[in-house]
Structure 1
Amino acid sequence: MQWMNTMENAVSLSARFEGSFAYYTIKDRLPKILTQVIDTIHRHKNKFYEEHGEAGMEAEKKAISFFSKLRNEMQTDKPILPLTSDWPDTHLWNQYLEQQRTLLNEGEEPSWFRSPWLYVECYMYRRIQEGMMLSPPIAEFDVFGAVKNESFFQSQQAIIALCTHLQERKRDIPSLSKEQCQEEFYKLLQVSLWGNKCDLSISGGQDNSQKSSILASLESLKPFVLVDDMVSLWNILSRSGTEKDAKTRVDIVLDNAGFELITDFILADAILSLNLATEIHFHAKCFPWFVSDTTKRDFDWTIQQLLAANHRWMSKCGQTWKENLKKGSWVYHENLFWTLPHEFWSMEGVAPDLYAELKKSNLVLIKGDLNYRKLTGDRKWDFTTPFSQALKTFHPAPLCSIRTLKADVQVGLRPGVGEKLSAAESDWMVSGKYGVIQFSPAM
């Protein structure tokens, strides 16, 4: 195994090596995202003027100046700067920067091309948030809101198909056998997995919506699931569901808004309806992150869109999910830890309140590629390294990563699988073609 503890050892997961996926992320995709942020703010200048007058216009100019300077810093490999905004996480970010300095030779500074890829990506999005916070009165404007909304609307037919399937299947639940319930659970787990392909940070903000029903494609997609631990999840929840009057809690650490969020809602609804859990706890970001990650605004907006939909089963889903939140069988959480660059094994020390919350869970489902990178420390592990080992000390509860592969880190594969894929498809780790449903028990 190759550890990534220093800049010099960050072989394929660092931004500094030409030819690597990470290098082109910094040189190409991230500047494009910043350009789109600038364009979005400029296109909303009339809205800012209507809402805030001259103060809105001045804020638009200030934000554009901030992001133009940030883009230049990135493209010319300038040093990473400390954060200046007065937010509860600022000191944690600046402490992390100091830690990065200790990994370099004396006199050297962490820079955009000389820092770990995970840190640089997270840092860019945190600087975007800083730029907005320093630009009142438009500080609450979501620079990615429009593309997230558009992704949702572009996925309407796929959403209708899922809502229809769920509502029609729920009518049959009283007559379903245990095996049929298990099959339905597996089906919607796979739907949630492939919903993770709709990631706007990977597509550079370009349309990456789901145009057709995933349900019809599940059988053909099975060969692309590299790790399938669905049986372990079923065993935990079906066993918990048989204990009379016992509360069973499932936590879902959300990833993308839009279609993927719908797949997560569908799975959560089914888990309750199949009596596999009594409560679902959702964890989302405190502010806009990696273009399409879910925030409180996205969470509430999505349910409201379904409530208002001119479709029987979409509106029924919206009604059910709103009621679930009202009665407490669905619970929403957010924590600044999800928008830090820290590996998850540091959670207990950095965010002990969050770690204690996850320890209450019977099963934690962790969605998406970025979360997988933080689970494994974004290190270049051997493909066969056990998932539980790569988690190091992060074992708050039984947990499962559900992701499509869009970054060059993967563990827990059978011997020879990673090497065979590498020989056949050079981009198999970053294309989103493959996925995992990968389980680790609590330790």
Structure 2
Amino acid sequence: MSKSSSQVSNVNFQESRTSGQAKSVKEDSSTTPDFIYGGPFIKVDKDAKFLDTATPFNMPLQGTFKKSFAYYSLIERLPIILTKVIDYLSREGSKIKSTHNATNEDIRNLIQYITKLKNDLVTNKKYDLLTVDTPEAKRWNQWIGNAQSPYYFTNLWVFSECYVYRRLREGCELIKSLNKFDPFDEQKDKSFTNSLEPMCMVADKLFTMLPLSDKDKRKQDFITLIKLCLWANKCDLSLSLGEEVNLNAEGGSASATIVNPLQMIVDLKDMVLVDESAKICDTICTKAENMNKAIEAHPEEPQEVKSEEAQEPPPPEQIPCPAKMTLPQVTTFDIICDNAGYELFTDLCLAHFLIAQGIVGRVRFHLKSIPWFVSDVTPRDFRYVIKSCADAKFNKKIPPEPKADAAEGEAESEPTIINSENLNRLGHEWGNFVEDGVFVIMCDDFWTSPHVYKDMKKYDPELYRKLQFAVALLFKGDLNYRKLLNEMNCVPTAGFEPSLQGFTPAPVIALRTVKADTICGLPDGKWEELNQIDDKWMETGNYGVIQFCDKADPLPGGDEFTKL
């Protein structure tokens, strides 16, 4: 279908899904008040052709393919998320007014703004331009103006999704009292609180990994932490439409039973479709060692300078690569974060391990500067998680399992005690790491732009250069994965490196539980096999990939460091 097909309307469809499951709905049900939830609904009379098929291979992900996850997200998932924000504003208006010194009119104006945004989305209107007067908003308007088809369903899915969240932010920006309002912070905070038990378990384990260890143990612990970070990515409030998500050994996205995350690694071993964790460990340790030697051999390199672009990071605000530098001052590992709460906690655990083992001297966390995709990490969330770890109070006694074959008079096993003592210690140490510049927060605008990563050189060459100074880049989650694969439905057996289409500022690691219908690097026949089991397997988050590209563009400068 041509991208220039622009107008839509009466988004007619035979298939829609709720909670990831197919259901039959009457034709034109997207135009009913029941679907729109928070009217008024504005019907469009123009027609557009949609294809009743999944996204073909090597085609962009967009809402014109009615059996794609992109279509489902635009027609149902995103409208529900916006509806829940409207409900939250209505239900908790008094609390929001008190916290932000807002008025009833402020709340009503924001509700009206979001309602129109939702109606425009489901009826596939043309994008409205942003009206806030900032350089970043002006750039957005240029991108909208340059879009081949500036409509929700016929443009790239990632552009439309990012546009919706950027517009949601604009709704707050236009109301002075709500300029700092995050409609998702309560959900993110609750998600953290409900994950205290597994965090305490992981904290206890992490303290056995921090003392300097031999090469074999270091590698095994590194792999364990990578897999903890992978399965923590299941806790995605965007996928669950803002509902609480708990860890579940059976692979579901929600459960009343929280299990030991370390046991999950064992239980879900066969659900990791691509596992390059051993290669990641070997390559990063070797590269970091070589980087450290190169840095020690070049003490004349200039000092770091303060960034002018990072937004709201806590002090000290540092950026390790002004244009005149050809070496970082410290060997650095970068994490491009996804979800707050438990997932960020596991990212911090991995970062702490890399520091404690002397593999790197600094970890840079790339966060979102504004509320994004419900649960993505903002600077406020980053500080909240660290402080909440330091202040957590948790204590639970788990009785031993009864032994069916226990001999008479045999002493019972001791109960297992899970408490927050080690979690508190981690929170305090991480707070010190932030203060000392060992953990660095960065919030470049590119992460909340609609652009895929192969275009970073074009739209943000300065950020691309910053990334070149890292020993490796760890990209977390599904949105990052889609942008790495350039929002294309790749042939599933295509290699990870060619799928990046030249985005190699530094070695790239992708950890992702599969929540959208694009993937690469699978063995022959695996995609077909999984489709026979469940044709919606790519939307559940039950499967994961750990993928790695060790290629890296050389830094300018011509010294031996550029060849590492």
How far 1:200 sits from its partner (Å)? 0.5
Is 1:38 matched with 2:86?
A: yes
Residue matched to 1:299: 382
Residue matched to 2:137: 90
Cα separation, 1, equivalents of 2:99 and 2:384: 21
How far 1:168 sits from its partner (Å)? 3.5
Residue matched to 1:65: 112
How far 1:75 sits from its partner (Å)? 2.1
Is 1:389 matched with 2:492?
A: no
Contact 1:240 1:277 in 2 (8 A): no
Would the alpha carbon gap of residues 412 and 151 (structure 1) be closer, same or farther in structure 2, given more than 3 Å must change?
same
Q: Which amino acid aligns with 1:415?
A: D
How far 1:383 sits from its partner (Å)? 1.0
Residue matched to 1:432: 541
Residue matched to 1:273: 356
Deviation per CA, 1:12-58: give whole Å up to 9, x if none.
221123232221211111111001111222233223443565x5322
Cα separation, 1, equivalents of 2:2 and 2:497: 18
Structure 1 residue runs of 5 or longer lacking an equivalent are: 105-109
Cα separation, 2, equivalents of 1:439 and 1:427: 25
Relative to the length of structure 2, the TM-score reads 0.73
How far 1:177 sits from its partner (Å)? 2.5
Is 1:17 matched with 2:65?
A: yes
How far 1:169 sits from its partner (Å)? 3.3
How far 1:86 sits from its partner (Å)? 1.9
Cα separation, 2, equivalents of 1:11 and 1:19: 5
Cα separation, 1, equivalents of 2:468 and 2:373: 27
Contact 2:54 2:66 in 1 (8 A): no
Contact 1:257 1:294 in 2 (8 A): yes
Q: Of the candidates 331, 335, 346, which is equivalent to residue 263 of structure 1? A: 346
Is 1:371 matched with 2:480?
A: yes
How far 1:236 sits from its partner (Å)? 2.4
Cα separation, 2, equivalents of 1:164 and 1:122: 38
Is 1:156 matched with 2:196?
A: yes
Find the residue that maps to 2:176 and give its secondary structure: coil
Q: Which amino acid aligns with 1:214?
A: P
Residue matched to 1:127: 167
Is 1:198 matched with 2:235?
A: yes
Would the alpha carbon gap of residues 400 and 49 (structure 1) be closer, same or farther in structure 2, given more than 3 Å must change?
closer
Would the alpha carbon gap of residues 377 and 19 (structure 1) be closer, same or farther in structure 2, given more than 3 Å must change?
same
Residue matched to 1:107: none
Cα separation, 2, equivalents of 1:51 and 1:389: 49
Deviation per CA, 1:153-198: give whole Å up to 9, x if none.
111101111111112333xx34x33111110000010000000010
Is 1:140 matched with 2:223?
A: no
Cα separation, 2, equivalents of 1:15 and 1:146: 30
Would the alpha carbon gap of residues 316 and 5 (structure 1) be closer, same or farther in structure 2, given more than 3 Å must change?
farther
Find the residue that maps to 1:270 and give its secondary structure: helix
Is 1:236 matched with 2:283?
A: yes
How far 1:347 sits from its partner (Å)? 0.8
Residue matched to 2:262: 215
Residue matched to 2:401: none
Structure 2 residue runs of 5 or longer lacking an equivalent are: 6-49, 56-60, 248-257, 296-329, 394-419, 554-564
Would the alpha carbon gap of residues 114 and 242 (structure 1) be closer, same or farther in structure 2, given more than 3 Å must change?
closer
Q: Which amino acid aligns with 1:209?
A: N
Find the residue that maps to 1:362 and give its secondary structure: strand
Contact 2:477 2:511 in 1 (8 A): yes
Contact 1:209 1:259 in 2 (8 A): no
Cα separation, 1, equivalents of 2:354 and 2:246: 25
Cα separation, 2, equivalents of 1:269 and 1:49: 39
Is 1:253 matched with 2:290?
A: no
Q: Of the candidates 506, 515, 527, which is equivalent to residue 406 of structure 1? A: 515
Contact 1:159 1:262 in 2 (8 A): yes
Q: Which moved more, 1:39-48 or 1:400-409?
A: 39-48
Contact 2:195 2:246 in 1 (8 A): yes
How far 1:141 sits from its partner (Å)? 0.7
Q: What RMSD over aligned residues (CA atoms) do the two structures have, in Å?
A: 2.0
How far 1:127 sits from its partner (Å)? 0.7
Q: Which moved more, 1:349-358 or 1:238-247?
A: 238-247
How far 1:92 sits from its partner (Å)? 2.5
| Aligned length in residues | 430
Q: Which amino acid aligns with 2:74?
A: I
Cα separation, 2, equivalents of 1:52 and 1:380: 43
How far 1:82 sits from its partner (Å)? 1.5
Find the residue that maps to 1:163 and give its secondary structure: helix
Q: Which amino acid aligns with 2:336?
A: V
Q: Of the candidates 434, 456, 477, which is equivalent to residue 325 of structure 1? A: 434
Residue matched to 1:350: 459
Cα separation, 2, equivalents of 1:190 and 1:220: 12
More helix by share: 1
Cα separation, 1, equivalents of 2:452 and 2:177: 34
Cα separation, 1, equivalents of 2:65 and 2:453: 25
Deviation per CA, 1:347-395: give whole Å up to 9, x if none.
1121122111100001110101000101111111111111111111211
Cα separation, 2, equivalents of 1:4 and 1:369: 26
Q: Which amino acid aligns with 1:285?
A: K
How far 1:5 sits from its partner (Å)? 7.1
Cα separation, 2, equivalents of 1:79 and 1:237: 46
Would the alpha carbon gap of residues 4 and 206 (structure 1) be closer, same or farther in structure 2, given more than 3 Å must change?
farther
Cα separation, 1, equivalents of 2:362 and 2:265: 27
Deviation per CA, 1:72-108: give whole Å up to 9, x if none.
11122222211111233223322222232x3x5xxxx
Cα separation, 2, equivalents of 1:407 and 1:430: 5
Would the alpha carbon gap of residues 6 and 230 (structure 1) be closer, same or farther in structure 2, given more than 3 Å must change?
farther
Q: Which amino acid aligns with 1:273?
A: A
Larger Rg: 2
Cα separation, 1, equivalents of 2:284 and 2:127: 45
Relative to the length of structure 1, the TM-score reads 0.92
How far 1:213 sits from its partner (Å)? 2.1
Q: Of the candidates 451, 464, 471, which is equivalent to residue 362 of structure 1? A: 471
